Amino acid sequence: MEVSKTLILSKKEIQSFLNMEKTFEVVEKVFKAWGEKNLIMPAKVTLSLGEYLKQPLHTGWMNAMPAYIGFSDYAGIKWVGGFKDNYKRGLPYIMGSLILNNPESGEVLSFMDASCITELRTGAATGVAVKYLSKENEKVLGVIGAGVQGRRNLEAIKLVRDIKEVKVTDIRKEAAEKYAKEMGNKLSVRVKAVKTNEEVCKNADIIVTVTMADEPLVMKRWLKPGVLIISLGSYQELEEPIPLSSKKLIVDSWEQAMHRGELVKLVSMGKINQKNIYAELGEIVAHKKLGRENDTEIICVCLIGLGCHDIAVAGYVYEEAKRKNLGEYVEI
């Protein structure tokens, strides 16, 4: 039997048609399927590239993220990592590739760049969290981290909430100022670069932390009643009392949250276990559990990233690229 050829897709080709609106649609559908247990996704496996060695040569990491999506009948794996010094090389922090397979035969349908998909699906996941967990009249957004993800998160949130004011800060002042100018013009919203994390959090209805930090950036005393705070970093970004005392503590995947991201230190110290988790976000999207129940409860969401989002979006990308005659077919 003849093996089908593999479609190679570049970042530029994917960027030519993949947008936040479509990505949001796919990500929300996947969250529902995850909550209904209608897909298969083992927890991601992380390969440290030196951060835990006594004499590390590198500080980056790589994740292997496989999944099978039942509703679209695609399987695949994303191989993606974060590299802290990439900005010095003129490269994005996140670098990755994705393999899409035929789940019946195992044939490689497509090999594609994963950076664009990662950017958009990560922002979209935050947008879904905001849709189901924030108050509907939220006006003020605080963003800590003015990189690519800080931008995509704002784009996704604007799809579901009529944000009027955005406050942003970054360890690099020029990055925050550039973000304010670019995103203010792009989305026609007032964006202000501020000097401190406390300024970002003061009177904010929604707070998003999306950095490379491994220390508390947000203190509980800065939070007003009813705030929704979303942590997306690979390490700690919040003061411990925030996840420990929030009315609802929500994750995208508890199995993954135990090993990476905001809650790892608390898990290792025995301060948090599965009983402390109110829900996985998919359970709320699938209406298995309630989301926000009043305007005063503080809700903390810790998103590590789901490989099922990547594979589902990649399935859409593959189909759309074929329709548009994009990419190059090769025999592998």
> Which residue numbers are catalytic?
78
Tokens of 67: 């999944």
Q: In Å, what is the CA distance from 304 to each residue of 78, 225, 232?
A: 14, 25, 6
Residue 10 CA to residue 320 CA, distance in Å, equals 14
Grouping H, G, I as helix, E, B as strand and the rest as coil, residue 197 is: helix
Grouping H, G, I as helix, E, B as strand and the rest as coil, residue 45 is: strand
- How many Cβ atoms are within 10 Å of 87's Cβ, its own excluded? 13
Residue 68 CA to residue 9 CA, distance in Å, equals 20
Grouping H, G, I as helix, E, B as strand and the rest as coil, residue 275 is: helix
- Work out the angle between the directed axes of helices 307-323 and 20-35 (0-180°, nearest 10): 130
The residue among 156, 115, 129 whose CA lies nearest residue 10 is 115
